[in-house]
Amino acid sequence: MKSITVTITNRKEYLSRLLNSLEKIQDLQDWHIYFSVEPVGEQLIPLLESWKYKNKTIIQRLTKQGVLHHPYVLLNEIFQKSNLNIYLEEDIIVSPDITNLADFYLKHQNDFLLLTYFSRCSCPDKNILFETYEVTSDKVHFYPFAWVTSQKNWSDYISKWWYSDNRGWDYSVVSQIQKQNKPILIPSMCRSNHIGDYGEHATPEYNLKYHSNIIINEDISNLNYKIMRNYE
């Protein structure tokens, strides 16, 4: 099974925009979507239930999980039955070819820990993916809002690193990529963007500075992905 997971708090406007972007994906019928809702987001359940896509499961959490624990709990649950998962948060919009990229990544899962959908490449090309270990500089960074990995890489690596850095699980992953010799894939053209002005680690000033000018790919014609070894 292939899956998409979404962690949700209580931000209806952002969630609605995410759902709208998911509707642009052509081959969603091959994917099961799991929405995991914190207790504070109970009022969003009707929106999710009425969303037109039928191949979905809504998980209502009875206790608060938080930004560190919620993704871990959800991914551990889903990878009991899924061999490939796209992780999203409610305040994200995505490109219509994220599932195509995920399928491409699965063929290369032994070589790459994960594929992240956010990119700041200086020469965007929708078909080019870069291999990189350099994930902590100003130019390249693993953004934790939208990414895909396989059941194998989750079980063997990511789940074991999750709590290794007190600053957050994304720092835990970043700190291990070079240590463990596990590169990641970054698209030349961005496939996701962060739209949340308010959140655990977001402010309007941060979003304006880093995400207001991001353009994500909307073109799904003539897809022919290739991997290049040097991030530009």
Of 98, 91, 87, 116, nearest in space to 25 by CA: 98
What pLDDT does 172 receive? 87
Q: Is the pLDDT of residue 202 over 70?
A: no
Q: Which amino acid makes up residue 26? A: Q
What pLDDT does 211 receive? 58
Q: Is the pLDDT of residue 91 over 70?
A: yes
Domains of the chain as residue ranges with CATH? 2-228 (3.90.550.10)
pLDDT digits (tens, 9 = 90+) for 124-164: 799 999 888 766 555 556 677 899 999 999 999 999 999 99
Q: Answer for the pair 6, 28: CB distance below 8 angstroms, yes or no.
A: no
Backbone angles phi, psi at 31, to 5 degrees: -125, 145
Q: Answer for the pair 32, 3: CB distance below 8 angstroms, yes or no.
A: yes
For 148, residues 6+ apart whose C-beta sits below 8 A from its C-beta are 84, 85, 86, 87, 98, 101, 102, 105, 114, 115, 117
Q: How much of the chain exceeds pLDDT 70, in percent? A: 86
pLDDT digits (tens, 9 = 90+) for 35-72: 999 999 999 999 999 999 999 999 999 999 999 999 99
What is the spatial distance between Cα 16 and Cα 125, in angstroms, rounded to a whole number? Answer: 28
Q: Answer for the pair 194, 148: CB distance below 8 angstroms, yes or no.
A: no
Instruction: Using CB atoms within 10 Å of the CB of residue 119, give its burial: 0 to 12 exposed, 13 to 18 middle, 19+ buried.
Output: buried
Strands (E), 123-174: 128-132, 146-150
CA distance to 150, 154, 197, per residue, from 83 (Å): 6, 10, 33
